[in-house]
Structure 1
Amino acid sequence: MITSVSSGVVIDALTQRLSVATVALTGVQPEISGADAADTTSQALVHLAGEVEATPGPDIWLFLTAVCGRFPMAGEVQRAARILQLDGPEALASNALDNVAADPVSARPDLPIDIITDRAVVYADYCARHDNNSGIQRVTRAVAQRWAVWHDAVAVADTEERSGFRTLSPQEELRVCSFGLDTEVDHELEAAFSPRLIVPWRTTVLFPEVPHWHAARTTRELVAYSGNRACAVGHDMIPVVSASLRPQQESVFTLYLSSVKHMAKVATVSNSARDEFRGFTHMLSAQGLAGPRVETVMLPEDLGRPERPLQSQPPTRPRVVVPARQEIHKNVLMVVQAAHRLWSEGQDFELVLMGGDGLAKPLIRQAVAAIESEGHPITSLGWVSDDEMWQQLVDASFAVFVSLHEGYGLPVVEALACGTPVLTSNYGSQAEIAAHGGCVTVDPRDMDAVAAAMRELITCPERLVELRAEIDKRASRTWDDYARDLWEFTTDHGGGNQEVGR
């Protein structure tokens, strides 16, 4: 919502949006002049309404975007099409203005637009706003950076109203396209930044992130009616398939699926995630929908990390690192309890927990405190920087990541990238990664199995040597490979299902 903007600014912005939209629809710059600016804009509005095809589709979607200064919301495209069919262009123009008046909080009538028709658009809202760089953010940044260089793709974020796409500020541009580089923002440019609406039209729109749930009301209309080829990177369906293990508020994930069902393609990060999304698409026949084409585009194992750090010091005893957030489905408490059993047997090793807070934090904190009171060497580092993460993984004798449900399992690959063996789960995407060597797999729900596998790796250094030799033989796949395969998949109009990049 905007405040303290003059009517002149609003009229000028509306005139610009109508002019740009008319050129996009007709290929011709309108020559309209009225008694004053408001009259000229009014004539331009009715003129554009007369150029719109009277069916729910790209023309009406673009028209409503141009008039409202935001993307159409649920039901607006269908209603506008009926009004145009029954009552004509002037009624359509009046209805669009009524939409703005009815919901002024969502509109940005002060913003000019840029219509993107010949370049891909990459949704990077979370990455633009935050410095967090976990799994999904790594994927988003890697793709946005490379597509910008190779294909002049445009990274976008939501408006503050969550009702459309906008340009990134200089600071946000650095977060998305230069993250981790020693680059400073130009503070004068940042202070002078004024956003513009970015309107993709009949091009490719990629969602490597799950859109903010407040944006769901416009995302579905964009996917269904804008004429764009909307594609998503499918990370997982944990909020649906394993809902009991996730926060209750993640039920809004179903709003995301209401957009996914209208997309052209979903590029999943693993075969396990592929099977989940294909299961969802198979259900859509009940709605008369074909759903998106779903294929696996494998993530890389060469993560582009800095040069592998040297081991800080030779360990005096085995060092076991658990690189996982303290969420229920990450199963960290199981590892802590298995470690306690081994200490009770007299095994000599240290355990390091490394990962941000989550729903399981209270239980994990309680268990760690009890173990510390017994004098066992356990450390909980919480969230750590990337540099610290890499150092901890290099220093580890082995890592343990036995999640109950993953879309991919990036911590497994991160440990392997450091030459560190991993104990991980024997099903799903973690088993897919483990199959190529350097890992031991167990049933993550079986305490005896987890403890036995940890015991073997703690007491048998020769087994660790074997696993490290397997790591050295793993095929290397880079972010360049991934971004290239993702581009080919999302921009290819062919059909068929296959795994890409393995």
Structure 2
Amino acid sequence: MRYAADLITGLGDHVKVVKPPNGADMQQIERAATKAVMESWLHEKPDVLIVGGWPFFDLAARSGTMGVPSIFIDAGAVPHDGIPTAGLPIQLELRRIRKSTLPFIDRVLPISHFIEQSQTLGDRAHSAGVRTILLGSDHLRAPYAAEETADGGASGPIVQQVRQLRRDGCKLALCLGRYEPTGYKNSPSALAVLESIRHSLPATLLLILGTQQEVDVPEHLSSFVKLLGHPTDAELREIMSEVDLGVSTSRWEGFNLPLVEMQNGGKPVLAFSLGAHPEVAADPWFLCSDEKEMCRKAVAILSGADLPRIPFRNLAAFETKLPWRQTLSAWWEEVQSAASATTERSPGRRMTLVDVTNSAADGANSGVVRVTRQLTKRLQRNPQLDVVFVRWNAGGGCYELTDPDHGFLSSYGGPVDYPAMLVDPARRGAALERIMLARHPQCVLPPIMFFPEVALDGTNMLRLEWARRRGLMCSAILHDLIPVFHKTHCSDEVIRNFPQYLAALIRSDQVIANSSESLRALRRYVQEQKSSLPANLDAIWLPAQFGMTDRVKDPGMPDQDEVRILCVSTLEPRKNHRLLLAAFAELVRRHPARRLKLILVGNRYAGADSIVADVEAAIAAGLPVHWRQVLDDAELRGEYSAARFTVYSSLVEGFGLPIVESLWLGKPCICSNEGVMAELAREGGCLTANMSDVSSLVEAMERLAFDEALHCKLADEATRRPLSSWDDYAALVGDALYGLGNPDPGPAPLQRKPAPVEEPERTKVAITLS
């Protein structure tokens, strides 16, 4: 093959040469070609795009996003048998690119039914827009094929050498196609065929299109093999007219142009009965099952003995079988049809990497982890997003796929990471890099790195930089700034590490706060730090839904003989368990005749051993307190059902998920009369108290425990007030993620304007050549 620059540039004024970046791999070259061509469309957009393969697969798959239908003329990808080890990765990558892009190209026109059945349909995964159009065979007779004739191409030394061999009485067989010592071309087999022919016809010579450096001819055949180098098209046409027989020993062909070229000149060609050969051979007689049959038929043709008449009659008529005018007409039909069709701009799914490092490793289900699991389970089903779960590998300084066999991501109703199940555990990092290359080709938006968790291990900037190096936009959920503005409630370690987390968070492209309170705190922090806010800020309130549970509309009456009070909260300082225990002890003291029980559900917090000691001391002193630590959702649901009401004694929150979860399950809740918790309580179902005052909390618990009218009123409010579900929340977050950096998040179908009747508009076609 050769690139005729003068021929290409001579096609007109609208030829754009795309130079691949130095040192780029195949995928990077594809993306560079897409970028260069689409940028040129900002000035003048074509009506149709036609591509012939790499590096324009990505462009063809994405062109629909700009309202340009694409057509791919599919010549297939070569088989891998015999390919040198160094060349195999290129062919494997080409197959991967085909499979990831062909489903999104508007029309695919395979050059043979063999290519259609063996590759096109498999790579495309559907048959819509597929039409087989055979190539033409008469191009060597076309006027443009004779451009070299004036320079002596048809009468040059190579052609004269062949003519002299013919005058000397030699029988001439031409090995068709480029000579390849290895691989599917099976070129050395032609030498074995020659050797067998010469047993019957010693005067037979084999002509090979190659040089001494390319063809290793056995010494005993060196006198009977003539190497012709690389003749021009004009020379090749004359050579084909002079020889007696063409031989194609290829073990795979998607069409076989040399075969049809020679048949078009009325010369017989023998080939193996495989690939597309049955579609393009002049007659089935010229097809062979093996070398032995090929040798037998070659001897018959070269000697002229006992030749069947019908195959050669069909050979004589082959010239009219595959004219290029027929191929071009069929292609033009597809171009016109594509240009006149209404093209819907498919936005494509946006790849979203989700950092679930903590959720994949945490066996409990505290607030942030609970949010991550419930949210990402639903984002996984979002048709706008391709969600990929990742975890940070601190030792390797990189992200990798999760390990479903040794993790907790799917616990408590969390998402199941199916792709990670299929990956070799030792190659999770490499597998992630490969997955990132397979993002939806019709999504022109960059992928997203989504941080729904709080990382306090000091690696936040490393995680952000990893994403930036790969061209990802970054989005994060902000849960709270308690370690900044309420340091007395946090451990020294959290206070020390939190600024690093915030430094990375405000460098994200988008921050989604879990409440207006958290968003106000972020604005205050950035102002005090004299820093800058991310360009995209939003407050999307967390939902009330408890796990996967439907909302409880009729909670029923709890046990009248026992007042069970439930507190769901991690045992940490700001959750205020000491005050809760003191208030409960006072309640028990005031009502010794009543059966009261406080149920605590929550894991111990690192560095909060004193709180655990207080709980254990209260239990040891005989206070009716039961600490159930970590429960699964079914067990916790049972505790909610048995409780008369819940208490959330926290002093400060970014949101306060247990409050609204209690309301979702129809249980009134006592919470703080300050901050975001007071805001949550405002719409009903809650009784507020001063969580810094024991007597205030005792009074609230006393009223809700024994005032039936108040209890019924708050329970009714809890079941009636508007509360959002995880589906609602995930839909809003999904829209925010998809809309990040997207100037047109809701594209409408493009309607093509009909051409004016008085002056028909010429269809503009963009054609790519590799």
Normalized against structure 2, the TM-score is what? 0.46
Identity of aligned residues (%): 24
CA separation of 1:17 and 1:164: change in aligned 2, threshold 3 A: farther
Structure 2 residue ranges without an equivalent (≥5) = 1-22, 35-53, 57-83, 91-347, 437-444, 743-770
Paired position in structure 1 for 2:397: 163
Matched AA of 1:138: R
> Could you list the per-position Cα deviations for residues 63-109 of structure 1 after superposition, in whole angstroms to 9, with x for gaps in the alignment?
xxxxxxxxxxxxxxxxxxxxxxxxxxxxxxxxxxxxxxxxxxxxxxx
**Partner Cα distance (1:162, 1:192) in 2:** 14
Q: CA deviation at 1:411?
A: 1.2
Aligned residues of 2:357 and 2:390 also touching (Cα < 8 A): yes
**Partner Cα distance (1:483, 1:264) in 2:** 19
Q: CA deviation at 1:145?
A: 2.3
Structure 1 residue ranges without an equivalent (≥5) = 1-15, 42-115, 496-502
CA separation of 1:165 and 1:444: change in aligned 2, threshold 3 A: same
1:299 to 524, 542, 564: 542
Q: Answer with 323-332 or 176-185: which moved more.
A: 176-185
2:354 to 122, 126, 137: 122
CA separation of 1:367 and 1:215: change in aligned 2, threshold 3 A: closer
CA separation of 1:450 and 1:159: change in aligned 2, threshold 3 A: same
Paired position in structure 1 for 2:617: 369
1:137 to 328, 349, 369: 369
> Could you list the per-position Cα deviations for residues 182-231 of structure 1 after superposition, in whole angstroms to 9, with x for gaps in the alignment?
98999995776631343569322211112452432412424666543211
1:437 to 684, 688, 694: 684
Aligned residues of 2:482 and 2:652 also touching (Cα < 8 A): yes
**Partner Cα distance (1:320, 1:188) in 2:** 42
Helix, strand or coil for the counterpart of 1:472?
helix
Helix, strand or coil for the counterpart of 2:727?
helix
CA separation of 1:25 and 1:146: change in aligned 2, threshold 3 A: farther
**Partner Cα distance (1:468, 1:188) in 2:** 44
> Could you list the per-position Cα deviations for residues 242-279 of structure 1 after superposition, in whole angstroms to 9, with x for gaps in the alignment?
22211221121211111112112211111111111222
Aligned residues of 1:202 and 1:228 also touching (Cα < 8 A): yes
CA separation of 1:346 and 1:379: change in aligned 2, threshold 3 A: same
**Partner Cα distance (2:396, 2:499) in 1:** 18
CA separation of 1:389 and 1:234: change in aligned 2, threshold 3 A: same
Aligned residues of 1:262 and 1:292 also touching (Cα < 8 A): no
**Partner Cα distance (1:363, 1:271) in 2:** 30
The reply to whether residue 408 of structure 1 matches residue 655 of structure 2 is yes
CA separation of 1:492 and 1:281: change in aligned 2, threshold 3 A: farther
2:413 to 169, 175, 180: 180
Matched AA of 1:377: P
Matched AA of 2:390: V
CA separation of 1:311 and 1:352: change in aligned 2, threshold 3 A: farther
Matched AA of 2:585: H
1:342 to 575, 587, 597: 587
**Partner Cα distance (2:727, 2:484) in 1:** 31
**Partner Cα distance (2:626, 2:412) in 1:** 29
Matched AA of 2:486: S
Paired position in structure 1 for 2:523: 278
2:381 to 126, 141, 149: 149
**Partner Cα distance (1:175, 1:26) in 2:** 42
CA separation of 1:320 and 1:391: change in aligned 2, threshold 3 A: same
2:718 to 471, 476, 479: 471
Paired position in structure 1 for 2:730: 483
Matched AA of 1:218: L
Aligned residues of 2:404 and 2:417 also touching (Cα < 8 A): no
Paired position in structure 1 for 2:239: none
CA separation of 1:22 and 1:158: change in aligned 2, threshold 3 A: farther
Matched AA of 1:234: L
Q: Answer with 325-334 or 211-220: which moved more.
A: 211-220
**Partner Cα distance (1:367, 1:138) in 2:** 24
CA separation of 1:183 and 1:300: change in aligned 2, threshold 3 A: closer
Matched AA of 1:295: D
Paired position in structure 1 for 2:460: 216
**Partner Cα distance (2:426, 2:478) in 1:** 33
Normalized against structure 1, the TM-score is what? 0.69
The reply to whether residue 384 of structure 1 matches residue 635 of structure 2 is no
Q: CA deviation at 1:425?
A: 0.6
> Could you list the per-position Cα deviations for residues 270-308 of structure 1 after superposition, in whole angstroms to 9, with x for gaps in the alignment?
111111122223345x35x34343321011112343466
1:249 to 493, 517, 524: 493
Q: Looking at secondary structure, tell me which structure has more helix per residue.
A: 1
> Could you list the per-position Cα deviations for residues 167-196 of structure 1 after superposition, in whole angstroms to 9, with x for gaps in the alignment?
233437x85468538989999957766313
Larger Rg: 2
Aligned residues of 1:171 and 1:190 also touching (Cα < 8 A): no
**Partner Cα distance (1:444, 1:152) in 2:** 44
Aligned residues of 1:438 and 1:467 also touching (Cα < 8 A): yes
CA separation of 1:413 and 1:217: change in aligned 2, threshold 3 A: same
Matched AA of 1:221: E
**Partner Cα distance (1:245, 1:424) in 2:** 17
Aligned residues of 1:321 and 1:351 also touching (Cα < 8 A): yes
Paired position in structure 1 for 2:507: 262
**Partner Cα distance (1:469, 1:312) in 2:** 12
